[in-house]
Chain A
Amino acid sequence: MKKWQWTLISLLGIGMIVSQYLDFIASPPEAQMGNVVRILYFHVASAIVAFTAFGITALLGLVFLVRKQWIWDQMARVSAEIGMVYTTFVLISGSIWGDAVWNTWWTWDPTLTTTLILWFLYLAYILLRASITDRERAAKVASVYGFIAAIDIPVIHQSVTWWRGIHPNVITMQGFNMPPMMVYTLMFSFVVFLGLYAVILWISTMMAKDRDDLNDLRELARNALAKYDERVGS
């Protein structure tokens, strides 16, 4: 491995350890919820990563449609996959939280409902990509779909909010209503999670690019060989 990669990995590892320390040792338990509040550091941070990832997918999809450079599409594709993993994590950690605090694993609360819909929307995105063999067509179609899905998310959220509403509003208009130590922990958690997202996004994009290039080259080689065989045969 190269030097910058080592640096990156060590930074990431340190961030994780510090985060673990802050989440479980340095930060206080909450007055009513006790230690369950610690799930929040993972839960909220994952939610932020998921939203960022899907936002980036939508944005890069548009950039791809305009610029027609593969790298944007590759990055959009990878970002959606990462977002999907984090959304799953949000749903699971939210369920654990819900069981501990609200005494139910699932409820049709607006935020939960929106997240579940989000999960289905991007499941469809990934399946859509995977089931179209023509790479250019897949990229275009997915970009359009990703864009439409992203602008639909606020509408969905608003509509399910009007529909019904017990999710804690931790971030209110007056800023955070939490003790400072918790705020710092949460902030640090955001940084680590977003950093992790950026690292995975970067590596996976390089891999996606290499894999696409590899497929192109193989195709090229196959065609060249076929042509060669033809010439020898005739």
Chain B
Amino acid sequence: MIMLGYLFAAAAVVWVGTFFYVVALLQRQRRLRLELEDVKRMLEEIKE
């Protein structure tokens, strides 16, 4: 039989992990966007 405490802890770990994953994802997305804009600017310069 599985103990309630273990279940609770496991679920809590999964939730916290997921939460920070989403936060990290948001940050990664922001960095990517910045890089994209960088390259765009670079291309503009090359054109000139």
* Chains A and B form a bound pair: yes
Binding site for B on A (CB under 8 A): 1, 5, 9, 12-13, 16-17, 19-20, 23-24, 34-36, 38-39, 42, 96, 100, 196, 199-200, 203-204, 206-207, 210-211, 213-214, 217-218, 220-221, 224-225, 228
Give the interface size class of chain B: 20 to 34
Which of chain B's residues have a CB closer than 8 A to the CB of A196?
18, 22
Is A200 a contact partner of B4 (Cβ separation < 8 A)?
Answer: no
Least CB separation from A199: chain B residue: B22
Interface of A is mostly: helix
- With A and B bound together, what is the CA distance between A200 and B46 in angstroms? 36
Chain B 1-24: CB-based contact to A (< 8 A → 1; otherwise 0): 111100110011011001100110
Give which listed residue, B2, B28, B36, contacts A217 with CB less than 8 A.
Answer: B36
> Which interface residue of A5, A16, A196 has the most chain B CB atoms within 10 A?
A16
Which of chain B's residues have a CB closer than 8 A to the CB of A100?
1-2
Q: How many A-B residue pairs have CB under 8 A?
A: 81
Least CB separation from B28: chain A residue: A207
Is A200 a contact partner of B22 (Cβ separation < 8 A)?
Answer: yes
Give which listed residue, B4, B7, B8, B33, contacts A210 with CB less than 8 A.
Answer: B33
Can you name 17 A-B residue pairings with CB atoms under 8 Å?
A1-B26, A9-B26, A16-B19, A24-B4, A24-B11, A38-B11, A199-B22, A203-B22, A203-B29, A204-B25, A207-B32, A217-B40, A220-B43, A221-B42, A221-B46, A224-B43, A228-B46
Known: A1-B30, A207-B28, A214-B36. A24 touches B46 (CB 8 A): no
